[in-house]
């Protein structure tokens, strides 16, 4: 069942939980996400990032994810992640995406508001939800680098709670991605999340759902604290592909250790990656449920 970003985050709000948002950079990840949602009974958000166009172009991934979501018994949102160009957002909406995350956090505040509002107008025409970002996680979305470190090392700028309410009013967004100590990429040390900032933002935005970017690598305990403070969507990518890569490398090493001249074929990697994604996604979906019961009715 294909649902909008606005509706799936409303479900999370009603149940004091967060929805896992996983990226669709491979068929193995897409398949795992759909099957985990169906088997656990919890909604899921499958995302395509504009920055992953070179990994899997939008024109190929869109028909796959939208078709699978429409046929699924689970509640699935198809969201465009970290979109920096409105023309790219238009393409995604035309392809059936039910959500757009417009990222103007790198722009001056006035321009961020202007472009975010234009994204809002576009989403309105399609009945899609809009996510925007205020503040900065410092390092850019990508998932391959280890430049994340701590929020301070990455040059992160916490979201200003007072500015957040104004930003929501002027842009018309449905959910707000905010910065409170997470970063994109691999953490070099233990993440230090500022829950005071998060709670202050929540107060000033009148319970608008909040989003955690840089969600990979955070402890289960910190996830629960963040959800209780108002996080309703958690972006999870880097560590998922890291674990899948490690599993694939381990398989290849073991095969060669057993037989020195063993040939490792590409198709040897895909089931290993799929199983890794399945395990990772099932874990985070259940953690983000925050004790709520499964929601899908089969």
Q: What 3-state class would DSSP assign to 294? A: coil
The position carrying tokens 């935005």 is 205
Q: Which residues of 139-165 are buried (b: 16+ CB within 10 A; e: fewer)?
A: bbbbbeeebbbbbeebebebbbbeebb
Q: What angle do CA 156, 162, 166 make, to 5 degrees?
A: 105
Within 10 angstroms of residue 208's Cβ, the number of other Cβ atoms is 19
* Contact assessment for residue 263 and residue 255, using Cβ atoms and an 8 Å cutoff: no
Q: Which residues of 244-268 are buried (b: 16+ CB within 10 A; e: fewer)?
A: beebbeebeeeeeeeeeeeeeeeee
Check 7, 54, 81, 160 and give the catalytic one: 81
Half-sphere exposure of 201 (CA within 13 A, CB side): 30
Q: Residue 11: which residues within 8 A CB-CB, separation 6 or more? A: 19, 43, 75, 295
234 in Cβ contact with 215 (< 8 Å): yes
How far is the C-alpha of 139 from the C-alpha of 118, rounded, in Å? 25
The answer to whether 81 is a known catalytic residue is yes
Q: Give the integer Cα–Cα distance in Å for 123 and 251.
A: 44
Angle at 281 between CA 120 and CA 89, to 5 degrees: 20
Residues labelled catalytic: 81
């Amino acid at each position: 069942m294909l649902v909008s970003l606005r509706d799936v985050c409303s479900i999370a709000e009603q149940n004091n939980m967060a929805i896992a948002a996983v990226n669709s950079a491979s068929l193995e990840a897409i398949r795992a996400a759909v099957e985990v949602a169906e088997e656990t009974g919890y909604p899921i958000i499958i995302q395509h990032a504009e920055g992953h166009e070179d990994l899997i172009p939008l024109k190929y991934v869109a028909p796959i994810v939208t078709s699978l979501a429409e046929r699924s018994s689970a509640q699935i949102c198809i969201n465009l992640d970290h979109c920096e160009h409105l023309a790219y957002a238009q393409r995604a909406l035309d392809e059936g995406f039910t959500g757009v995350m417009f990222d103007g956090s790198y722009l001056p505040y006035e321009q961020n508001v202007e472009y975010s509002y234009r994204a809002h107008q576009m989403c309105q025409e399609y009945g899609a939800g809009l996510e925007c970002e205020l503040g900065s996680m410092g390092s850019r979305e990508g998932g391959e680098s280890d430049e994340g470190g701590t929020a301070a090392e990455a040059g992160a700028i916490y979201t200003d709670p007072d500015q957040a309410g104004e930003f929501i009013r002027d842009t018309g967004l449905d959910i707000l991605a905010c910065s409170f100590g997470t970063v994109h990429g691999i953490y070099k040390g233990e993440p230090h999340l500022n829950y005071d900032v998060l709670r202050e933002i929540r107060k000033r935005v009148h319970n608008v759902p909040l989003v955690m970017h840089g969600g990979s690598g955070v402890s289960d305990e910190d996830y629960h604290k963040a959800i209780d403070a108002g996080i309703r969507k958690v972006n999870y990518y880097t560590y998922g592909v890291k674990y899948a890569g490690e599993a694939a490398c381990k398989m290849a090493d073991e095969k060669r250790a057993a037989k020195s001249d063993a040939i490792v074929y590409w198709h040897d990697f895909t089931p290993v990656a799929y199983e890794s994604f399945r395990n990772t996604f099932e874990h985070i979906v259940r953690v983000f449920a925050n004790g709520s019961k499964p929601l899908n009715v089969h």
